[in-house]
Structure 1
C-alpha cells in the first residue's frame, strides 16, 4: 500500500462516524474471558454436570477475532501501515514463553509420573503442540479407527491454541490481501473492504462447518477451517461496533449471557458441534462484545472476574496437565476434593506464570526491544521442545524394536506356558499371569494398532472397497479360507496367518472397523450421520459377493464385537433379534453355497481401560487388571446365530478365563493391545488351539 493510498484510507475511516473502535482495554472482555475459561475448566473437571462447557473455546475464538481485527484496523487507519512482523512479534512475546514452559514441564511430568505406555503418544503430541499443529494431528486421530482408543495426553488441550496461532499467522496477511484487492478495485474505505472480506469468510467457513460436521464430526471439531467463521464473527463485530441506547445494550447483554451460559449446560458431547449449533455461543459472545459494559453485565467488570480474565491464558495452559497427571499419582480417578485442589493449584500456578513469565518477557527489553529477538526466541524455543520430543521418540522406537525382537525369539522357543498355554491345566504352569518378564512390554503392545499388516488388512471407517490382504501360505497348496468381520476379526489376523502357515492355507482377510459381517445394519448411537452405516452396508455386500463368487474359498471364519452395536433389520426389526437374524441369514447363505463356516466366539470383555497401561501401572499385581468371569463373558449374537444356522462355534473362553476371572495378562503375555482388541502376541499364540478345535 502506498503512503498516499493509505493516508486516503485513514482519512475516510476518520470521517466515518457511525462505528466506534474498541478501546485498548475493556474490563468486561476480561470478565468474558473468565467465563470462557471457567466453562472449559469446569467441563474438564465435571463433564457430566457442565456437558457443554467446551463452548468456552468458541468464546475465546470470537474474542480473539474481535480484538485482533480491531487492533489491525486501528493501525491501518491511524498510521497508514500494517507492520506484520511487529504484530507477529507481539503474539510471540504474549503467548510462547508460557506455552513452551508448560510443554517442557508437562513432558517431564509424563516421564516421571506416568506409565511407559503413554510416552510415545505424549512425545508426538507435545512436539505437534510446540509447532502449533496439534489440532490437525488430533483431527487425523479422531477419524482413525485404529487410534480411537488413544488416551488424552498432557498436550491435548493445545488443539485450540494451535487453531488460534494459525489464525494469528494468517489473519494480518489476509487483511493485507483484502486491502490490496480494495486498491485494485478503486475503493478507499478500508473498513468496508475488510468487512466485506470477513463476511465472505464467515459465510464460507460456516457453510463448510455445517457440511463437515454432518459428515465427520470428530474431524470437524478439530479443524481450523470449520472454526474460521468464529474469528470472522468477532472481526465483523469489531468493525461494525455501534452505539445503542442504554436499554438496548442491557437487553443485548442479557441475551448474550443467556446464550453462552445456557450452551454450556444444554449442549452435550453428542451435540452436532461445531456446525450451526455453534451459532449460539458465538452470537452470544458477539452480543456481549457489541453491548460493552452494562448494568446487567456489571459483574463482568468486578475485580474477581477481571483477575481471572487476566490469568485466563495461563489457567487454560496449566489446568489440563494437572487433570491428566494427578490420577497417575493417586492411583485412582479424581475425587471431588482432588478436583477442588486442582482448581486451587491451577489458580496459583497461573498467577505465578502471569507474574513471572508472561508479563516480564512480554514487556521487558529482552524480547520487546526488537521483533527479531522475539523470532529468535520462538525458533530456539520450538527447536528445543521439538528436538527433545524427537530424541525421546527415537529412543522409544529403538527400545520397542529391541523388545519386538526379544518377543519374536521367545514366541518361537516352544515354551508351553507362554500365553494361553498357562491356562491349560495339563501344562502345570503355575500362576496364570506368569512369573517372568513380559514377552512384549506394554509400550510395545499399545502401539500395535499402527502395525503395517493390520493397516493393510483392515478397511477404514469410511472405506467400502475390499482390501488386497493375503496371509498364511500365499500358494494356498491346501486351499483358501477367508476371515471376515469387524476390528475384532482384524485382531485375529496374526492367528490366521500362523494357522494358514500350519495348514498350507491361503487366507484372504476382509475386515472393516466397526462393521460386523451381518445382513442387518449395525447402529451406534454415538454416530451423528448414516455415512458409516451406509459404508458398512456397501462393504458387507462386497464381502458377500466375493465369498459366494470365489470357488476357491472353502472355509469362512467369522467373528465380531457383537455387544458393541444395536441393530436394524431389512424388515424393520430392531434390537438383538434383528442382529441375530442378520448373522444367521448370512451364515446360512454361505453354507448353502457349499462353504464351510465357523464362528469364533468374541473375546471376553475387559475392565474398560487401556489394558497395557493397566499392566504397566500394576506390574506386581496383574490381578487388578482382571475382570470377574460373570461380567466379562457376555452373550454373543454371532454365536447364537451360528447355533441357529447349524454352524460350528470355536469357543476360546477357556484360554482367557478360569472359573472365576478373565485375565489381561496370561503366561507373561499381555492379552489386549487396547480396550478390547487382542495383542499381536496373544493372537498368534492362539493359532495351535484354533487349529486343534477346527478338527
Structure 2
C-alpha cells in the first residue's frame, strides 16, 4: 500500500478489511452464532490494530477470509445438493444486494467530504483510487503503483483498506464457477471441491514464499494469488470429506481442539508485527489461516463447546453482524479524525473514532443494508439490475466530474 500517516497521527497502516460473508443459516441450516462472534473478534482485532493497540490485529483478515471461504462454499454446496447445479446469476445477484448499497454509500460520502475539506494529496489519491475500488481491482492498482503497504509515512489514502474487499470480490467471481463445474460430477462434487481447494491453497503458499521480498512484503500480502489460501482453506473445511476427517480426528476432544486453535490464533495476534515478522510470509500466514479454518469447522460441528459458547456472546455477535459496514467506515474515520484535527491521542482518540465508526456502521446496516437486502422488491430482478447500473454510472461520473487539485510544481532550477 501507499504510505499512510505516521504512527503518532493515525496508528499503523491499514491492514485487513472485514468483508461480507454469506449469512449462516441460508437455505434452512441453523444459524451458527459462534461464527458471528468470530467475525466480531476479527473486526475488533482490526480496530485495535489500526488504532495502535494490537500489533497483530491485522491478522483478523485471515480469520475473515477463512470465514468467507467456508460460508460461501457451504452455501453453494447445499445448492448443488438441492438442485444439482449452481445458479451464477442468482449468486452474484445476492452478492450485489449484500455488498453494493453500503459500499456505494460510503464511497460517495467519503469522496465528497474529502474533496470538500481534505488536503490536496488526499483528494488526488481518493479520486485516483476510486475507480479501481469500483472495479474491485484496487489491490492490483496499489501493487502496480509499488505502494508500500507497511510504510507508515506519506500521503493519506482513505480507500487503501479496501484492498481485501477486492480480493474477496475476485474470489466471489471465480469460485462459484469452480463449484458449477464440480456440480457436473454429481455425488463427487464435494471431493472435487475439496481437492481443488487444498491443491490451490498449496500453490498459493508456494507462490507467496517464492515471491516475497524481505525488504517489503506488500506484494504478497495484498496480491490475490498469494492470499488465496486463506479463503481456500476455509472453503476446504466446508466440504463433506474435510468434515468427516475433522470429526474422526478430534472425536470427543472437539472442545480441547477448539481451545488449542483459539489459543494459537490469539498468541499469533499478540506476537506478529507486520513487515518485521518475515516468518508470516514464509508459512506463518498459512498456519494462521489453517488454525482459523480449523476453529471455524469445530464451531460449526460442535457449537456447544466452551469456545463456541464464548464466541456466541451477544455483544461480540453484534459486532460481527455490523462488521462489513464497520470495516468500510472505520479507516476513513481514523484518517479524517486524526490527532492533528481532533487534538486527541491514545485511548481518547480510539474511543472517538471507534464510536463514530460504529455509529455509522449501525446506520448503514439498519437504514441501508438490511432494507435493500431483505425488503426492497425493486432491488431484485430487472429493476435491481437497472439500479445497480445506475449506481455504477453515478460513481463513474463522480470520479470524473470532481476536479483534482493540480500536483505541486517542482522548481527544476533549484536542482542545479
Structure 1 residues 328, 124: CA separation in 2 closer, same or farther (over 3 Å shift)?
A: farther
Structure 1 residue 41 corresponds to structure 2 residue 47: yes
What CA distance in whole angstroms lies between the structure 2 residues aligned with 1:259 and 1:383?
46
Q: Secondary structure at the match of 2:243?
A: coil
CA positional deviation for 1:331: 6.0
Contact 1:127–1:390 (CA<8 Å) still a contact in 2? Answer: no
Measured at CA, do residues 296 and 179 of structure 1 come closer, stay the same or move farther in structure 2, by a change above 3 Å?
A: closer
TM-score normalised by structure 2 residue count: 0.84
Matched, 1:385 2:395: yes
Q: Cα deviation per residue 1:340-393 (whole Å; 9 max; x = unaligned)?
A: 1111122222111111111001012334542x444333332222122211222x
**For 1:141, which of 145, 150, 155 is the aligned residue?**
145
Is 1:71 the equivalent of 2:75? Answer: yes
Contact kept in structure 2, 1:141 and 1:148, CA below 8 Å: no
Q: Which residue of 1 aligns with 2:235?
A: 235
* Cα distance in 2 between the residues matched to 1:103 and 1:275: 35
Partner of 1:685 in structure 2? 414
Q: Which has the higher helix share?
A: 2
Partner residue, 1:92? 96
**Structure 2 CA distance for aligned equivalents of residues 233 and 144 of structure 1:** 27
- Structure having greater relative contact order (Cα 8 Å, sep ≥ 6): 2
Is 1:223 the counterpart of 2:234? The answer is no
State which of 243, 252, 268 in structure 1 corresponds to 2:273: 268
Rounded Cα–Cα distance in structure 1 between residues aligned with 2:132 and 2:344: 27
Asked whether the 8 Å contact 1:205–1:227 carries over to 2, the reply is yes
Q: Is the 8 A contact 1:226 1:274 kept in 2?
A: no
2:348 is the alignment partner of 1:337: yes
Query: 3-state SS of the aligned residue for 2:158?
Result: coil
CA offset digits 1:575-607 (Å, max 9, x no partner): xxxxxxxxxxxxxxxxxxxxxxxxxxxxxxxxx
| Structure 2: gaps of 5 or more residues | 1-26
Is 1:59–2:58 an aligned residue pair?
A: no
CA distance in 1, matches of 2:116, 2:338: 13
What are the within-5 Å matches in structure 2 for residues 572-587 of structure 1?
none
Give 1:444's aligned residue.
408
Distance 2:281 2:38 in 1: 20
Name the structure 2 match of 1:159.
163
From 346, 358, 362, the counterpart of 1:347: 358
CA-CA distance at 1:88 after TM superposition: 0.3
1:165: Cα distance to partner? 0.7
SS in 1 for 2:76: helix
* Structure 1 pair 121–95 and aligned structure 2 pair: CA distance change class (3 A): same
Q: Which residue of 1 aligns with 2:12?
A: none
Helix, strand or coil at the partner of 1:444: coil
Query: How far apart are residue 322 of structure 1 and its match?
Result: 0.5
Alpha-carbon separation, structure 2, partners of 1:274 and 1:104: 35
TM-superposed CA distance for 1:214, in Å, is 4.2
Aligned to 1:439: none
Bigger share in strand: 1
Alignment match, 2:203: 204
Q: Contact 1:53–1:263 at 8 Å: present in 2 too? A: no
Of residues 306, 311, 319 in structure 2, which corresponds to 1:308?
319
Displacement of 1:274 after TM fit? 4.1
- 1:259 is aligned to 2:258: no
Q: 1:365 to 1:330 in 2, by over 3 A?
A: closer
Change in Cα spacing, 1:266 to 1:149, as seen in structure 2 (3 Å) is closer
In the alignment, the residues of structure 2 paired with residue 385 and residue 124 of structure 1 have an alpha-carbon distance, to the nearest angstrom, of: 13
Whole-Å separation in 2 of the counterparts to 1:164 and 1:218: 17
Match of 1:622 in 2: none
Conserved? CA contact 1:100–1:381, under 8 Å: yes
For these two proteins, the number of residue pairs brought into alignment is 377
Post-superposition CA distance 1:415-470 (Å, at most 9, x none)? xxxxxxxxxxxxxxxxxxxxxxxxxxxx424xxxxxxxxxxxxxxxxxxxxxxxxx
1: distance between equivalents of 2:344 and 2:171?
A: 36
**Distance of 1:328 and 1:130 partners within structure 2:** 30
Question: Is the Cα contact below 8 Å between 1:31 and 1:306 reproduced in 2?
Answer: yes
Q: Distance in 2 between matches of 1:284 and 1:354?
A: 30
Shift of residue 70 of structure 1?
Answer: 0.7
Superposed displacement of residue 89, structure 1? 0.5
Shift of 1:40: 0.8
Q: Is the 1:107–1:122 contact (alpha carbons within 8 Å) kept by the matching residues of 2?
A: yes
Q: Distance in 2 between matches of 1:138 and 1:61?
A: 20
> Secondary structure of the residue that 1:82 maps to in structure 2?
coil
| Match runs of 1:568-607 below 5 Å | none
Instruction: Note if contact 1:178-1:193 (Cα within 8 Å) is conserved in structure 2.
Output: yes
Of 57-66 and 116-125, more deviation after overlay is shown by 116-125
Q: Show the counterpart of 1:288.
A: 295
In 2, Cα distance between equivalents of 1:24 and 1:109: 42
State the 1:329 CA deviation: 6.9
